[in-house]
């Protein structure tokens, strides 16, 4: 699985900032929010949207703050502490706890799969293993997404945390951005359920690589 893009850090940050509203809008849609693109943009501009619920506004603003965090720390090391910081932004005022590994059991709607309660030392080891494998930055990013999503490391916001962690890896390596577009959500949810049920993420990995990585084509 090769890198689809080979951008400089400043180019990839420019790309992420340029597409920030769309990235946030798509992440919100994956979570089932009903806000339109224009409503999302208006909320991010700090203007009141009468039809938006307080929960929707909180989710969107939390995504904004998480994106700001990874863009301002694009060169920092990614580890468990960093991923917990992403979740702290993502799940602030939305979750039982945020920014810390969950300490109890959780269920996932639509599947019988029950993830184990995360153990810090094992999570740290798995993160290191993903980052130290001799594969492309894109493959590392997508495997991190799969790991965080299926492990359900946090009480809430796992898909959003996984998306931001994957984007941190992509941006640091000039690999573009990861975004699940609105017209691909049904396919994504179908493959995600398959991944939950079977622990085989090959189909989901292929889908993310082929349909969800975006970048810039630069001329020499």
Between CA 220 and CA 208 the distance in angstroms is 28
Average pLDDT over residues 160-189: 98
| Percent with pLDDT over 90 in the chain | 95
Domains in the chain: boundaries: 9-211
pLDDT digits (tens, 9 = 90+) for 177-210: 999 999 999 999 999 999 999 999 999 999 999 9
Gyration radius of the chain's alpha carbons: 16
Q: Is the pLDDT of residue 57 over 50?
A: yes
pTM of the predicted model as reported, rounded to 2 decimal places: 0.96
Taking domain 9-211, whether its CATH number is 1.10.3290.10 is answered by yes
Strands 213-214 and 177-178: antiparallel
pLDDT digits (tens, 9 = 90+) for 29-52: 999 999 999 999 999 999 999 989
pLDDT given at position 219: 47
């Amino acid at each position: 699985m090769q890198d689809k893009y080979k951008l400089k850090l400043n180019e990839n940050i420019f790309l992420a900032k340029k597409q920030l509203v769309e990235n946030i809008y798509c992440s919100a849609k994956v979570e089932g929010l009903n806000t339109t693109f224009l409503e999302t943009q208006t909320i991010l501009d700090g203007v009141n949207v009468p039809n938006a619920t307080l929960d929707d506004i909180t989710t969107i603003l939390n995504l904004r703050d998480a994106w700001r965090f990874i863009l301002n720390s694009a060169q920092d090391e990614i580890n468990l502490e960093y991923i917990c910081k992403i979740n702290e932004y993502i799940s602030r005022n939305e979750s039982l706890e945020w920014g810390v590994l969950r300490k109890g059991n959780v269920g996932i709607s639509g599947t019988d799969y029950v993830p184990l309660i995360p153990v810090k030392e094992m999570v740290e080891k798995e993160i290191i293993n993903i980052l130290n494998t001799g594969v492309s930055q894109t493959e590392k990013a997508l495997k991190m997404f799969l790991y965080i999503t299926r492990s359900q490391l946090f009480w809430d916001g796992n898909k959003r945390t996984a998306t931001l962690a994957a984007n941190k890896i992509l941006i640091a390596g000039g690999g573009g951005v990861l975004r699940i577009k609105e017209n691909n959500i049904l396919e994504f949810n179908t493959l995600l359920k398959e991944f939950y049920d079977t622990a085989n993420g090959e189909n989901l990995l292929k889908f993310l690589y082929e349909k969800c990585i975006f970048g810039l084509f630069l001329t020499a």
